Amino acid sequence: MSAGPVTESPLQYLDEALAQLERDGLHRSLRQLQGEQLPRARFDGRDVINLSSNNYLGLTTHPKMREAALEAVRSLGVGTGSVRTIAGTMDLHMELERRIAAFKKTEASVVFQSGFAANAGTVSALLGKGDLILSDELNHASIIDGARLSRADIKVFPHRDVAALEKLLHETRDVKRRLVITDGVFSMDGDIAPLPQIAALARAHGAIMMIDDAHSSGVLGRAGRGTVDHFDIHGQVDVQVGTLSKAIGVLGGYVCGSKSLIDYLHHRARPFLFSTSHPPRRSGGVPRGVRRPGAGTRADPEALVQHEALQGRAPWPGLQYG
């Protein structure tokens, strides 16, 4: 049976959607960075002060980071050639994960290809149909997508509203498995979650406590350990997600927690299972870190990186840290 004549592209609706974005003033063009990611940079042919980068500490161009990444390529090549569970786990991956776990004061950690993959893969692995996710209304898109992929029920509580969360926990007390999840530092406004109160509620109601600490890593807590350390509530958060793509200056995400949690993610987190592992240049620079010359005993021996900003000195001239 022959089909009728094709009168338009099956993707015609994309042009219509783009036209609507234009009419709504929401269409965007990608800015092009000419050169390195620096505080003063050149975008689209214009020299500007760059206030939009996630490179909080200036580590993306640090000489020690460059040196370590180049050495990793020279000694191990440009890629790993496999997923982690078959033939793609290198010594440097294991070293990095040991360093991250020590840095975050947890039993173990696992690295993902991005922070988005870490959140989405973890949430969708831990929860399933019949379970419940309680999520702050301003949580990151990766948390939202992970919640949808899990097929668990989702209830959203108003931003940073501890009383509303407590009410939801009480109303859903008959649900066997529940996950409370919040950003540590919220990416759009920079406000901090009331984590001690949220974690206490989760524990009192027998719920799993999870935090996305991407924007607080390198910023809050001792040596930039994040929100859990900032509030000194180690051991009260079951799942900590972070990123290497912001303050640490490279690329990737990670999950920290108990050995059982990480072992489970090795078996059930689909982004980990079905993605080629980090190339050496990505993972090689971080374990070696950046040590501030002359830091001596003032340096934190467990810090993921040693850097002027983490010792109270700004890496960028004229920029002061509070």
Residues acting as catalytic residues: 187, 215, 246
**In angstroms, rounded to a whole number, what is the distance separating the alpha carbons of residues 120 and 114?**
10
**In angstroms, rounded to a whole number, what is the distance separating the alpha carbons of residues 322 and 301?**
23
**In angstroms, rounded to a whole number, what is the distance separating the alpha carbons of residues 122 and 181?**
12
Q: ∠ at Cα 302 (300, 308), nearest 5°?
A: 40
Coil vs helix vs strand at 281: helix
CB 248 within 8 A of CB 218: yes
AA letter at 22: E
Question: Phi, psi at residue 204, to the nearest 5°?
Answer: -65, -30
Q: In the 8-state DSSP scheme, what is residue 315?
A: S
**In angstroms, rounded to a whole number, what is the distance separating the alpha carbons of residues 205 and 240?**
19
Both structure tokens of 295: 């830091």
Q: ∠ at Cα 281 (279, 283), nearest 5°?
A: 75
CB-based burial, 148-185: b 16+ in 10 Å, e otherwise: eebebbbbbbebbebebbbebbeeeeebeebbbbbbbb
**In angstroms, rounded to a whole number, what is the distance separating the alpha carbons of residues 63 and 57?**
13
